[in-house]
């Protein structure tokens, strides 16, 4: 595997009235993950990138972390540092955000 951890952040756009991650801070989350990971020296061992629909729109904004396949829902900008510190660095998923 090329990356120790790979973070996918949904930025999909859908027509109203359906909720979509792109309208719910998706792009801002991508920037926040990338900037923080860079500041912490996690790149290029880890990567964060935008993705299309993860098919959990009702729980968006959605983030998925591989290789574990952990899906996070309703991720806020204020959650980014916790996900990075807890999950990416210390291998402990943030249980309060995990979608079963």
Q: What is the pLDDT of residues 17-39, one digit of tens each?
A: 777 777 768 899 999 999 999 99
Give the CATH class of 5-97.
alpha beta
pLDDT-derived band at 14 (thresholds 50, 70, 90) equals: confident
H/E stretch holding 33 reads helix 26-39
- The whole-number pLDDT of residue 73 equals 96
What pTM did the predictor assign?
A: 0.93
Q: What is the pLDDT of residues 34-92, one digit of tens each?
A: 999 999 999 999 999 999 989 888 888 999 999 999 999 999 999 999 999 999 999 99
Start-to-end CA span in the chain (Å) = 25
């Amino acid at each position: 595997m090329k990356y120790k951890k790979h973070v996918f952040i949904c930025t999909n756009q859908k027509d109203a009235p359906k909720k979509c991650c792109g309208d719910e801070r998706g792009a801002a989350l991508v920037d926040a993950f990338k900037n923080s990971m860079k500041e912490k020296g996690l790149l290029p061992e880890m990567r964060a990138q935008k993705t299309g629909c993860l098919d959990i729109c009702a729980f968006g904004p959605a983030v998925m972390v591989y290789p574990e396949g952990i899906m996070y829902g309703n991720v806020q900008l204020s959650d980014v540092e916790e996900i990075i510190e807890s999950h990416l660095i210390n291998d402990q998923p943030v249980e309060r955000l995990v979608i079963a």
